[in-house]
Homo-oligomer: A and B are copies of this chain.
Amino acid sequence: MLNQNMLAKKYLSIRNQTLELTQPLTAEDMVVQPIVDVSPPKWHLGHTTWFFETFLLKPHLPTYREYHPKFSFIFNSYYETFGDRAVRNQRGFLTRPTIQEVMDYRRYVDEFMLQLIALGTDNLTFLIDLGLNHEQQHQELLVTDIKYILGTQVINPVYGGHKDVPGQLPPIDWVSIDGGQYPIGFDGNTFCFDNELKPHEAHVESFQIADRVIAVEEYLAFMDDAGYQRPELWLSEGWDWLMKNGLNSPLYWKKIDNAWHYYRLDGFEKLNVYEPVTHISFFEADAFARWSGKRLPTEFEWEIAAKKIQPKRPKSANFLESGLLHPSLEQQQPGFWGSVWEWTNSAYSAYPGYRQTKGALGEYNGKFMINQMVLRGGSCATPAAHIRLSYRNFFHAYQQWQFSGVRLTETAE
């Protein structure tokens, strides 16, 4: 009974956190989809609710009645198992259901979820945990999508986040890791995604890795050295991407009167050079590393180093708790990681012995294991409770709209 109460409380707490993230938005902000990667905030609210309805209530609560016959079509993200669904790039055309109707849907589902939790069915623990982790993933996506929606307006509104204070850039220290065989993957008994399994050994050669991610100041040096104009620094597809899109800076950057500014959730401002550089694509991270005479770490190297240096994530880096959406590097010290997602040079792929979940849930992770790169760590937009050392995030090499940055590595001679 105690457990059920705690679970119910946790459920409500996480669900409410999602709503809180949309508080600063106007109705207009809730509806649009400026690029295919970005979903309307309203859609996130509906989709996460649909997830509980579909995977928990419908199969496991006999008294549950479907809320609306068309909502599954509208709020199914990509599960082929459930048949036809609204086309992804048309989410921004769905004016109906309205925000109010989506809120009603949330309340309806939450009520039944509390009933289901109260039943205390043991074998649903994993599914409820999955639903809550799924909700947390969408909390993070909400922040990134909101930033894109607001950050690409002609008139940039302020969302929130405390102002940072001027800082200093600590020098990079290089941590040496001996070559050898190391354990990789999730090895606990709490929740993890199937792609973190199963735990296994990996061999790495000796390497050195920076003790912090790259800051804006360092990235500016790359730009000043014609980094965006020299094809020899770029992967072939990266250079094509650059030329086709006419890019010459990270996302949200804009030069005004010869000074670089950027959009942060607390407004459109001059660069703070002490912050981690973020909103860069894999292509940019990789070009920066090549220019530096270094390289990106593999996800194994990253995991091994993270485990060695600093097993805990600093509390202050998480926006939802600290209110700091853009902590300077100083403020986020002494944590090793957690302010930006870090591109690794590992393509997203199955671990040895990976077993894709049966049924619709098997579509959650496994079917994306192609043409995406693994990011490790977590960002200021990631819920703190959702971060762990074995977590494998993954995006396409061209995507910039995540809070993604870069850490350098080199193979030991």
CB-defined contacts of A188 to chain B, threshold 8 Å: none
Question: Is A70's CB within 8 Å of the partner chain B?
Answer: yes
Query: In the complex, A345→B352 CA distance in Å?
Result: 11
Q: Tell yes or no: A202 within 8 A of B by CB.
A: yes
Of B153, B231, B363, the residue contacting A96 (CB under 8 A) is B153
- Mask: chain A, 52-86; 1 = CB below 8 Å from B; 0 = not: 00000000000000001010011000101100001
Which chain A residues numbered 68 to 117 have a C-beta less than 8 Å away from chain B?
Answer: 68, 70, 73-74, 78, 80-81, 86, 90, 92-99
Q: Is the CB of A362 within 8 A of B232?
A: yes
Task: Determine how close the nearest CB of chain B comes to the CB of A288; give it in whole angstroms.
Answer: 15
Quickly give the copy total for this chain: 4
Residue A37 CB within 8 A of the other chain: no
Q: Which residues of B contact A350 (CB under 8 A)?
A: 295, 345
Q: Which of A336-381 contact B (CB under 8 A)?
A: 345-347, 349-350, 352-353, 362-363, 367-371, 373
A352–B411 touching, CB < 8 Å: yes
The segment from A130-138, A210-218, A236-244, A314-322 that touches chain B is A236-244
B205–A203 CB distance below 8 A: no
| List of B residues within 8 angstroms of A68 by Cβ | 155
Most buried by B among A97, A149, A283: A97
A96 & B235 in contact (Cβ 8 Å cutoff): no
Chain B residues with CB under 8 Å of A125's CB are: none
A323 within 8 A of B: no
Residue of B nearest to A200 (CB): B205
> Is A181 on the interface with B (CB-CB < 8 A)?
yes
Q: Is the CB of A92 within 8 A of B411?
A: no
Interface bits A26-56 vs B (CB < 8 Å: 1, else 0): 1111111110000000100000000000000
Contacts of A27 in B (CB 8 A): 27-28, 98-99
CA distance in complex: A255, B363 (Å): 32
CA–CA, A277 and B29, complex, Å: 37
Tell whether, in the assembled complex, residue A96 and residue B155 are in contact, meaning their CB atoms are under 8 Å apart: yes
Q: Tell whether A154 is near chain B: CB-to-CB under 8 Å.
A: yes
B28 A95 Cβ-Cβ under 8 A: yes
Please give, as numbers and ranges, the residues of chain B lying within 8 Å of A29 by CB-CB distance: 95
Is the CB–CB distance between B154 and A32 below 8 Å?
A: no
Shortest CB-to-CB span from A72 to chain B, Å, is: 11
Are A368's CB and B236's CB within 8 A?
Answer: yes
How far, in whole Å, are A339 and B207 apart by their CA atoms in the complex?
A: 39
Beyond the given A78-B236, A203-B203, A238-B370, please list 19 additional residue pairs across the A-B interface where CB-CB is below 8 A: A27-B27, A28-B95, A28-B99, A31-B32, A34-B90, A74-B154, A94-B154, A95-B149, A96-B153, A201-B203, A232-B362, A234-B367, A236-B370, A282-B370, A283-B370, A347-B347, A353-B411, A370-B397, A371-B371
Provide a sorted-by-A list of 29 A–B residue pairs whose CB atoms are within 8 angstroms.
A27-B99, A28-B30, A28-B95, A28-B96, A28-B98, A29-B95, A31-B32, A31-B95, A32-B32, A32-B92, A34-B90, A68-B155, A80-B231, A80-B239, A92-B93, A93-B149, A94-B153, A94-B154, A181-B181, A207-B352, A235-B369, A236-B368, A237-B368, A237-B371, A282-B370, A295-B350, A353-B411, A370-B373, A371-B397
A-B interface, 4 closest residue pairs, ranked by CB to CB distance from nearest: A347-B347, A80-B231, A27-B27, A28-B95
